[in-house]
Amino acid sequence: MKLTASNIVKAILNLPKNEWFEYINQKTTSQVRVTSAAGPEGPIYVERRNPTRHGNGVAKKATLSSAMIWRIANAYTPNTPINFDRVLAGSYNTRSLLETLLARTPEFYWCIPGRIELTNNSSEIKRGHKHIVWLPDSPHQNGVLVEHKNSNEQAISEIPSQTILYDSLAVTGQLLATGMDINVKRRHLQIQIALIEIGRQLGFRTWIAHNDKGFQYGTKKVGELEGVIARLADERVLAAYEEAIVAEIFRVVVASTVKS
């Protein structure tokens, strides 16, 4: 299943109207409520206040940007706890507001999974940090904050699960024959590999220029990597746009002619 920004915006706009919601962290006395959204993918406009201050505090306006919403949406897969601060790298001063609202939508729960701490050759599971988990098959009551207890039995590793080894790119005479500086060409191919990996993580397939598909990457050629589109003509998404396929074929033919 793929979560999108529009899914998140729709769910948050469906929260009870004009209701003030407390933060997940009980030590924080601030509250937030939704006012409106600019479009199906945001931004979302909210207000926040601190009711412990005189006169319930003055409500201040804030904006949950589309970019922040998309970053969170792209990070999610079902039943995988997400730490907002880690995903957003500490950026966006409204991230706690988005976390508070999303956790009250029916498909999202808050949880505190364990944290795997590695020391030399030993590992230890310690109490972790607050996460939000997406459980689309187990919705709860709208507007209610619910803890997912089963996540307490999970443990989060803070070590990346995948690493791209760019040095496995084969630098051969084929690279030099292009007339491009070898370091520039290497970086060009590194970026191509990164785009393929990003697309694969997001559930997409990637089109790589014909001239780059033959380069060796590890034990395979770039064109043989998982998620790389073999032929644009075989893609159903372009079936209704024959001019797009023709344009790409023309570009490749021209490029080959110029190269020859």
Q: pLDDT tens digit string along 55-66?
A: 666 889 999 999
Helix axes 95-102, 66-75, angle to 10 degrees: 60
158-169 confidence digits (pLDDT tens): 554 444 444 444
Residues in the chain: 260
Q: HSE-up of 94 (CA within 13 Å, CB side)? A: 24
Cβ-proximal residues to 86 (8 Å cutoff; 6+ apart), any chain = none
C-alpha 179/C-alpha 183 separation (Å) is: 12
Identify the residue whose tokens are 């040095």. Answer: 167
The answer to whether 103 touches 88, Cβ cutoff 8 Å, is no
Band (171; pLDDT cuts 50, 70, 90): very low
| Coil vs helix vs strand at 40 | coil
Average pLDDT over residues 192-214: 78
Q: Is the pLDDT of residue 155 over 80?
A: no
122 forms beta bridges with 119
If you average pLDDT over residues 67-81, what whole number do you get? 93
Q: Residue 256 carries which side chain, given as an amino acid letter? A: S
**pLDDT confidence tier of residue 256, bands split at 50, 70 and 90:** very low
Spatial distance between the Cα atoms of 181 and 175, rounded to a whole number of angstroms: 9
Residue 48 has pLDDT above 80, yes or no: yes
Distances (CA, A) of 112 to 20, 78, 115, 151: 24, 16, 9, 7
For residue 153, pLDDT over 90 is answered with: no
SS3 assignment, position 106? coil
